[in-house]
Amino acid sequence: MAVETVLGEVAHGGHVVARIDGKVTFVTGGLPGERVEVEVTERGKRFDRGHVTSVLEAHAERVTPPCPIAGLCGGCDWQHAGPGLQRELKRRVVAEQLQRLAGIEWDGEVEEVGPVWHWRTRMHYRVADGEPGLLAARSHTVVPLPEEGCRIAVTPRPEVPAGASELRVVDAASGHEEFVPGKAGGRVITERADGRDHRLAADGFWQVHPRAADVLVDAVVRSLQPGEGERAVDLYCGVGLFAGALA
Ligand SMILES: C[S@@+](CC[C@H](N)C(=O)[O-])C[C@H]1O[C@@H](n2cnc3c(N)ncnc32)[C@H](O)[C@@H]1O
């Protein structure tokens, strides 16, 4: 049964917070300030989860999602928001996290790092009836890809090998790789950032947007302004992106 409510502030993970019968409810598919109908999909001790089933008063920057499976697939959280509003929502999430976790007041901006379509270099496709798809949010249900494939993936629609139930696709600087998860077979790929080559396992971590590694290294080095003789600890360093740049 759907409940009418006015949505509050944005929260992490594509949610907007609502209070339904006094209880905090994390709602997907909505935008702050919208009057909507929400179906509560999960009840928890501290909070519930729900999804917008009908928009009664839309945000001025609500748009029709470009992808026909947006909202069904668990991948893109904000395709129903225009690009400027997406950046503003992300700004608010970062500002709130910094304020709440670290007591830091941040008034920076979230900037676009293009390209905004077909940028995602790591994909984990699932297969249903021989066709590639992606998982629905918080579910094991496979949502089949639309005809044009995934609009954020570098490889929008992979060929699925006969009998495969999953397929990982990695579009590294050194080339295109496809393998069944857990069976990368010791392949090594090369990615380039900060003017250096980084060699890592094909199924190892690398920033998924092709410009992210450089943008993040630049931000870290500019903010830290490291000096000779100083020591830094790169926690959760992966292949050592930041340690390498600082060194
Ligand atoms: C989000 S990635 C970031 C990597 C790197 N800073 C970068 O930007 O390329 C986090 C990394 O931490 C590693 N990691 C997660 N938990 C870990 C643990 N308990 N001990 C060591 N490494 C861990 C992951 O395998 C991954 O390589």
Exposed (0-12), middle (13-18) or buried (19+): which is 132, by Cβ within 10 Å? buried
- Taking the mean position of all CA atoms in its chain, how far away is CA 109? 18
**How far apart, in whole angstroms, are the C-alpha atoms of residue 224 and residue 161?**
47
109 pLDDT higher than 90 = yes
- Strand stretches in the chain, DSSP E: 2-6, 10-11, 15-20, 23-28, 35-42, 48-57, 122-128, 131-135, 142-144, 166-172, 175-179, 188-193, 196-201
* Sequence ranges of the domains in the chain: 2-95, 212-246
The whole-number pLDDT of residue 114 equals 87
Exposed (0-12), middle (13-18) or buried (19+): which is 72, by Cβ within 10 Å? middle
Look at the domain 2-95 and name its fold: OB fold (Dihydrolipoamide Acetyltransferase, E2P) (2.40.50)
Give me the residues paired with residue 125 across strands: 167
Band of pLDDT at residue 211, cut at 50, 70 and 90: very high
Convert the pLDDT of each residue in 120-144 to its tens digit. 999 999 999 999 999 999 999 999 9
Contact 84, 116 (CB under 8 A): no
Convert the pLDDT of each residue in 29-81 to its tens digit. 999 999 999 999 999 999 999 999 999 999 999 999 999 999 999 999 999 99
Contact 192, 198 (CB under 8 A): yes
Q: What are residue 130's phi and psi, to 5 degrees?
A: 80, 0
User: Which residue from 190, 196, 215, 236 has its CB within 8 A of the most atoms of ligand 1, so it is best to mutate?
Assistant: 236
User: Which residue from 194, 205, 235 has its CB within 8 A of the most atoms of ligand 1, so it is best to mutate?
Assistant: 205
User: What is the Å distance from ligand 1's center to 240 Cα?
Assistant: 9
Pocket of ligand 1 (CB under 6 A): 205, 207, 236-238, 241-242
